Amino acid sequence: MAEASAIRVEGLRKWFGEGPTRVNAVADVSFEARFREMLFVVGPSGSGKTTLLSLISGILRPSAGKVWVEGRDIWSESPDRLADFRLRTVGFVFQDYHLFPKLTTAENAALPLIIRRVPWNEALAQARRQLEVVGLASRADVPPGKLSGGEQQRVAIARAIVGAPDILVFDEPTASLDGETGHRIVGFVKRQILNEHRCIVIVTHDNRIYDFADRILHMEDGRIVGEERPRA
């Protein structure tokens, strides 16, 4: 495993509300994630996993603490630089895919490049190359509604990697998939998407895929309460 730090978090906190109604979603969390590492964050619903994911990926501003990504203190940067960070450094794979039904598979995968104002034809060409990576080259011109759940998840992965981000974050990637499909998808990500220049963070409560993790952080009540390394 590479020793370079991809993500470093110190004293991270996020609360909602004030006074007696305040809810501490993330409470004094510190950890490090490295390149060429697949890090799982696991725990029961409501433990703060998804909130933590939003804090480290530049979506939700912390109430306290620091987040460094590739050495950058992301929450000290201007709104424009933070938006650029989200576009170029982080790739998201959402639980419900978030595919646009009126666009083709290739057009959905090209969206991050189109937002970055890459010319349309070039963006589609790059998207098609990533669809080849995830085994969907033959489905590039069909709408998402004609794809299976596993295929839609692979489109979401192609969209996440089309801009060559260094950090990939997955929010409950197997929640909408049957056990066999979910296992196959995460195994594919571990073999084909993870590399020495990339770090992958997966939030999940699906213990069927824990054996793919390089490390697992256990969360409860907004805190990291344990860490383990699954046996190879």
Q: Tens digit of pLDDT for each residue in 137-194?
A: 999 999 999 999 999 999 999 999 999 999 999 999 888 888 888 898 999 999 999 9
Q: Tens digit of pLDDT for each residue in 31-70?
A: 999 999 999 999 998 999 999 999 999 999 999 999 999 9
pTM: 0.90
Residues in the chain: 232
Structure tokens at 210: 């824990």
